[in-house]
Amino acid sequence: MLDPVNKQILDELAALGAPPIHQMNPVDARRGDLILAAACQGDVPREQVGSIEDRSIPGPGGEIPARIYRPKAGSPCGALIYLHGGGWVVGSIEGHDEVCRRLSNQSGAVVVSVDYRLAPEHKFPAGLDDCYAAVNWVSANASALDYPAGRVAVGGDSAGGNLSAAVALMARERGGPKLALQLLIYPAISASLDWPSVREFSGYFVAVEDMRWFMNHYLRSPDDASNQYAFPMNAKDLRGLPPALVIVAEMDPLRDQGEAYATRLREAGVPTTLSRYDGVTHVFVNMAPRLEAGRKAIKEAGAAIRASFAQ
């Protein structure tokens, strides 16, 4: 059964009368990201953190905007590079501001939120290249960011979970940097739409037509769908990857692929925790200001991040 607060937020969004995202152009769809963030926030005040800094970091296609969050209490125990969701086409630092505030306080880590390049203006692998560059920059600048060197994690939701898993693969293949954890929140990990959860829950926040729309904008050609960096489920060997926390939502088309990737990680000997939150949909973590399950997921993620730095 759908959580009543989750349902209320979805009803509020539906009442706005916007067309489905697959019937929109990318520019209009991006405006909707901030409307979504406002609905998730409701009238709850934003989480207070120690400090917030907007800056740019060097990237392969030019400067990458980033927002740096420091926790409210104590010295940072490490750094989390956070990669926002939005199907590689929409999403922004601002739209995920509250998630990053809460993750910083719950984990005690510096959180660096990355405004990577979006498709279709910048197709695969441009955004991923930005994310990997950001991870390298954070890893190389521990002193400037005031966290203990070597304590670096990567994480994100939906498309950001996809990018986080791909960054973990890249770091393994390219000899670093070493990552303490990959936080994969309902990740878009497979190009296949032939999953039972896709058929069962299409239309619960995201529809199968929306998923096709995102992939068509992101990929350069159909051949990219088989690239392990576009969809990490394609990777033949997952051994040697960093420990993972995979969080999925029961009533989410992406549920099954996230769970399948967690199974594959475990089979490859990667320490992996899989958490399914019942009665909630895609984007439930962004609903944390209003939704208890979102707050619980962020608390779980924060604890996992903190614990990974203590290993």
* CA–CA dist 155, 129 (Å, integer): 15
Question: Is the overall model pTM greater than 0.75, yes or no?
Answer: yes
Domain annotation for the chain: domains and CATH numbers: 4-309 (3.40.50.1820)
pLDDT band at 57; cut points 50, 70, 90: very high
* CA–CA dist 270, 83 (Å, integer): 22
Average pLDDT over residues 34-59: 97
| CA angle 267–159–279, rounded 5-degree value | 75
Average pLDDT over residues 14-40: 94
* Residue 150 reports pLDDT greater than 90: yes
Is beta strand 51-57 parallel, antiparallel or unpaired with respect to 64-70? antiparallel
* CA–CA dist 128, 153 (Å, integer): 16
| Positions marked catalytic | 158, 252, 282
CB-based contacts of 287, cutoff 8 Å, min separation 6: 5, 6, 9, 40, 280, 293, 294
Residues 212-264 pLDDT 10s: 999 999 999 999 999 999 999 999 999 999 999 999 999 999 999 999 999 99
